[in-house]
Copies of this chain bind each other. A is one copy, B any other.
Amino acid sequence: MDRLSKCEANYVPLTPLSFLKRAGSMYANRTSIIYENTRFTWRQTYERCCRLASSLRSLNILNNHVVSVLAPNVPAMYEMHFAVPMAGAVLNTINSRLDAKNVATILRHSEAKALFVDYQYVQLASEALRILMADSQQGQSSMPLVIVIDDVDSPTGVRLGELEYEQLIQMGNPRFVPIEVQDEWDPISLNYTSGTTSEPKGVVYSHRGAYLSTLSLILGWEMGNEPVYLWSLPMFHCNGWTFTWGIAARGGTNVCIRNTTAYDMYRSIATHKVTHMCCAPIVFNILLEAKLNERREISSPVQILTGGAPPPAPLLEKMEHLGFYVTHAYGLTEATGPALVCEWQAKWEPSTRRT
């Protein structure tokens, strides 16, 4: 038997989409997402993703088309991590801190067929689209379909074109059968590294790579079942270091916040009993330098996964005093996010770290 025929005999492709399908059924009534006063269960999240995927197909988004998104850590951004590949398409999350020129470069290079834009980024998107339009008229690229994402909890009425995210959810089919992953090596997402040295460079994640990296980080961080995960790391950053998919795998709760202010983070941690969060080291400063009226008592330990240079010991100690226990990881966009984890070691006990 050659490899191909062996593959096909028992071939169940590895894909993070299996995490959501399983969560929608096994963890159906658990809370999947909390965002301000909006809450969904895993059954609802699965249905909403089916609806969005079916709407994308109706809008002529086909297999391997790229769907871009400019959004903070709102529920729509989370749902798109499943709904876009469930439509057979490839998710391209764009760093919202880029300027219009870089956003236009990404839209052009990725040949995005659709662009979802949170209402906060309408101006940035408009400028990027104007730059893209100028190119387009020189015959260099075609324009993506634009869909605005209004705030799901407090609609603002801001629009950019005719389509709105919740409309697509409403008109979608909750019983849509997701497009089957034919090959686990097919792309699930396309992430651009920052354009510090030249124009942004694209990295393709396969379904297989995303699946394995997700499990690897859950294992390396020892993230148990039912984590309450605070979205302090942007989902546009390597798909939230794979935890977009990983929280579904663990039947956890995604606590979405629009801004990573000290007030919003402390409030979320105290109210929802957050157990896990990821962040860049800069967020430590935000947490440490919070004013008294922004702080809240942390009653049970919060595990933090951070990247970049190893945080110095005094900083770790200060964080531990507040109730945050830091694990250090290292990776890069080209490695599907964090690839190395400084695992906790038993010989470092005794400590208050483990609960």
Residue with the highest number of chain B CB atoms closer than 10 Å, among A3, A183, A219, A345? A3
Interface size on A, residues (CB 8 A): 21
The answer to whether B225 touches A222 (Cβ under 8 A) is: yes
Cβ contacts under 8 Å, A251 to chain B: 343
Q: Which of A149-183 contact B (CB under 8 A)?
A: 183
The answer to whether A185 touches B222 (Cβ under 8 A) is: no
- Cα A224 to Cα B221 in complex, Å, equals 9
A215 at the interface (CB under 8 A from B): yes
Of B14, B215, B225, B344, the residue contacting A343 (CB under 8 A) is B225
- Cα A147 to Cα B299 in complex, Å, equals 59
In addition to A7-B185, A218-B219, 18 A-B residue pairs with Cβ atoms within 8 Å of each other are A3-B4, A3-B7, A3-B183, A3-B185, A6-B183, A6-B185, A14-B212, A215-B215, A215-B219, A219-B219, A219-B249, A222-B224, A222-B225, A225-B343, A225-B344, A225-B345, A225-B346, A251-B343
A111 at the interface (CB under 8 A from B): no
Least CB distance from A31 to B in Å reads 11
Cβ contacts under 8 Å, A320 to chain B: none
Cβ contacts under 8 Å, A224 to chain B: 222
Offer 23 A-B interface pairs, CB within 8 angstroms, sorted by A.
A3-B4, A3-B7, A3-B183, A3-B185, A4-B4, A6-B183, A6-B185, A7-B185, A14-B212, A215-B215, A215-B219, A218-B219, A219-B219, A219-B249, A222-B224, A222-B225, A225-B343, A225-B344, A225-B345, A225-B346, A226-B345, A226-B346, A251-B343
Least CB distance from A335 to B in Å reads 12
Q: Which of A1-35 contact B (CB under 8 A)?
A: 3-4, 6-7, 14
Least CB distance from A104 to B in Å reads 29
- Cα A135 to Cα B84 in complex, Å, equals 61
Cβ contacts under 8 Å, A226 to chain B: 345-346
Q: Which of A199-238 contact B (CB under 8 A)?
A: 212, 215, 218-219, 222, 224-226
Least CB distance from A89 to B in Å reads 18
Least CB distance from A189 to B in Å reads 16
- Cα A218 to Cα B183 in complex, Å, equals 26
